[in-house]
Chain A
Amino acid sequence: MSDAAVIVTDVSKRFGETEALAGVTFEVANGELFGLVGPDGAGKTTLFRILTTLSIPDAGSATVLGLDVVRDLWAIRSRVGYMPGRFSLYGDLTVKENLSFFASVFGTTIEKGYDLIAPIYSQIEPFAERRADALSGGMKQKLALSCALVHRPEILFLDEPTTGVDAVSRREFWDQLQTLRSSGLTIVVSTPYMDEAMRCDRVALMQGGRILEIDPPSEIGTRYPLPIVAVIGAERYKLLLSLRDAPHAHSVYPFGSELHFTDDRAGFDPVTVAAELREYAVSKGFKDVEVKPMEAGIEDSFMELMPPPVQRAS
């Protein structure tokens, strides 16, 4: 048997006119924390539904824990944990009732799964008698993760667990994922947040039903094909518009407190690009503009790989 926890081979899925997945191929190793990074509509949820046996691919094949997602669906279901993107718990049951319910569906008890869920569940246990509806966003998310783990799955699928969650709760959630990963659990997680991709072992950048690139997060930026520099200056919007007209401008995007300028001359020295651009900005009347060579990050790479946004999704 293969060492891979997940093998996806040329999987396609179409809903009417929309091509949700267009020939997706990748593998996830045992014990890996694997990220699917991409915006709404990239095909992440469709992929999760296929891997958790809730949807059947139109073409291609996939195995999870060595089992075929179509033929062996019943065997797969008891061995995977799945946290869907929408809040999936029973709002009118209490925290403890929800957890007991999910345990009993899988023929187990809270006690048998307790050591695995303890680091997460202990944080919401003081509210065990509270209705799930009355929990805050961060607590709902901890309960949903506990419910997905209580039957001790061998692999965990998390579909956008942090969408709409604030920056602090997101960090805490990822701390918990890394603890689970170090216990040997395989985790496949999707997110629209590029910063979260940094915390995965490997990430697949997805867009429009396709995988654009798969790499460890630290390597994605190194494959950036063009020289890129960071620009800092006042009057940022005017500066942005002006830099788009600079000779050799390939793309200019705001990035936090900076603008990232990509030059269209592959292989050109970024130090020269920075010097030329500084001169250009000064000639256009922008004073005190700082321009410095930089390493591309995941979000730079993602935008470079992305096909330009079009009105029609398909």
Chain B
Amino acid sequence: MTDTAISVHNLTRRFGDFTAVDSISFDVAPGEVFGFLGANGAGKTTAIKMLIGLLAPTAGDARVAGLDVVKEIEEVRRRIGYMSQRFSLYEDLTVLENIALYGGIYGLTNAEIRTRSSSMLTSLGLTDDLVGRLPLGWKQKLAFSVALLHQPAVVFLDEPTGGVDPITRRQFWELIYAAAERGTTVFVTTHYMDEAEYCDRISIMVDGRIATIGSPSELKQKWGVPSIDELFVRLARPS
């Protein structure tokens, strides 16, 4: 086992003349909650796609769960969970049917699916129902739990709380904390700057580069700002 959950070295992606991700380097420790921030178009989605093996880097390399994201991509995919901002479960299946489906895809045994389903329903306080009938916040909590079903080393969450009510948004973050306590590394993007403060460390991407990285309190001190919101505005629109 390596001592970094994610290790990125000079990672670069160009589309024609446009450099979407420009030689970024950073590490994320196991069990860390890492906030990956940036304005729309700063290169976050391109970077995440490379880390989960959906896009090949133009240059540089990245290891996730100790594995190379290009050469060992199949193994990487088995060791990570991913939850996109678009809801990804099947609305016309029930909660348990969705869990069974994803459990099957991840190669869990029927016995494993049974135990994990029932503990998931208990911990979420959810009864079995058509997923399409759940309010958005519950869908998002369920999608997160399903992304953790195969007990991945690292889970990637792309704007998981957009449009969710303030209480459910906080319940979602408690699920994140609980997963991190169990040793799962959490890599999360958000447009809510108060949520940036919940992370152990954050980075802010500007024009394809990482403009700053550190714990929220370190960064506020270093840049002399009262909040991450202020820092974000300052870095993302230098004027």
Chain A residues positioned under 8 Å from B134 (CB to CB): 311, 313
What chain A residues lie within 8 Å of B168 (beta carbons)? 39, 309
Does B216 sit at the interface, judged by CB under 8 A? yes
**What per-residue 1/0 map shows which CB atoms of A153-179 lie under 8 Å from chain B?**
000000010011111111100000000
Which of B133, B166, B198 meets A302, CB within 8 Å?
B166
- Please tell me if B165 contacts chain A, counting CB pairs below 8 Å: yes
Q: Does A312 contact B (CB under 8 A)?
A: yes
Contact A313 B165 (CB under 8 A): no
The answer to whether the Cβ of A192 comes within 8 Å of any Cβ in the partner chain is yes
- In contact, B166 and A303 (Cβ under 8 angstroms): yes
CA distance A256 to B232 in the complex (A): 14
Within 8 Å of chain B (Cβ to Cβ): is A268?
A: no
CB distance from A43 to the nearest CB of B (A): 13
| Contact residues in B for A192 (Cβ distance below 8 Å) | 162-165
Q: Which residue of A lies closest to B181 (CB)?
A: A237
Q: Is B93 an interface residue (CB 8 A)?
A: no
Q: A167-B232, A255-B194 are in contact. Are A40 and B40 (CB under 8 A)?
A: no
Contact A137 B40 (CB under 8 A): yes
Which of A168, A194, A240, A312 is close to B236, meaning CB atoms less than 8 Å apart? A168
Q: How far is the CB of B174 from chain A (nearest CB, A)?
A: 8
B41 near A137: Cβ-Cβ < 8 Å: yes
Interchain CB contact under 8 A, B232 and A311: no
B163 and A40 contact, CB distance less than 8 A: yes
Contact B229 A39 (CB under 8 A): no
Q: Is the C-beta of B212 less than 8 angstroms from some C-beta in chain A?
A: no
**With a CB–CB cut-off of 8 A, which chain A residues contact B41?**
136-138
Residue-wise, chain B 172-200 has the 8 Å CB interface mask toward A (1 for contact) of 01100110110000000001111001100
Please determine whether A169 and B39 come into contact, CB atoms closer than 8 angstroms.
yes
Please tell me if A306 contacts chain B, counting CB pairs below 8 Å: yes
Q: Bound complex: CA of A169 vs CA of B125, how far in Å? A: 37
Evaluate contact between A311 and B136: CB separation under 8 angstroms: no
| Chain B CB within 8 A of A254 CB | yes
B166 touches A299 (CB 8 A): yes
Quick check: is B224 within 8 A (CB to CB) of the other chain?
A: no
Q: Chain A residues with Cβ under 8 A from B232's Cβ? A: 166-168
Chain B neighbourhood of A137, CB < 8 A: 40-41
A 5-40 contacts with B by CB, 8 A: 38-40
Q: A168-B237, A192-B163 are in contact. Are A256 and B227 (CB under 8 A)?
A: yes
Q: Is there a chain B Cβ closer than 8 Å to A2's Cβ?
A: no
Chain B nearest CB: distance from A190 CB in Å? 11
Least CB distance, A158 to chain B, in whole angstroms: 15
**A residues 130-165 in Cβ contact with B at 8 Å:** 136-138, 160, 163-165
Contacts of A253 in B (CB 8 A): 167, 170
For residue B162, give the distance in angstroms from its CB to the closest CB of chain A: 6
Q: Does A41 reach chain B (CB closer than 8 Å)?
A: yes
Who on chain B is nearest to A304 by CB? B167
Q: Which residues of A sit under 8 angstroms from B160, Cβ to Cβ? A: none
Q: Kindly state whether residue A183 has any CB partner on chain B within 8 Å.
A: no
Query: In the complex, what distance in Å separates the CA atom of A256 from the CA atom of B217?
Result: 11
A-B contact pairs, 9 of them (CB 8 A): A166-B38, A166-B40, A167-B191, A168-B232, A193-B192, A302-B166, A303-B167, A308-B167, A311-B135
In the complex, given contacts A39-B163, A236-B198, A311-B126, what are 12 additional A-B residue pairs having Cβ atoms less than 8 angstroms apart? A41-B135, A163-B163, A164-B162, A165-B191, A168-B233, A168-B237, A253-B167, A253-B170, A302-B166, A309-B168, A309-B171, A311-B129
The list of the 5 closest CB pairs from A to B, nearest first, reads: A39-B165, A237-B177, A40-B163, A166-B39, A256-B197
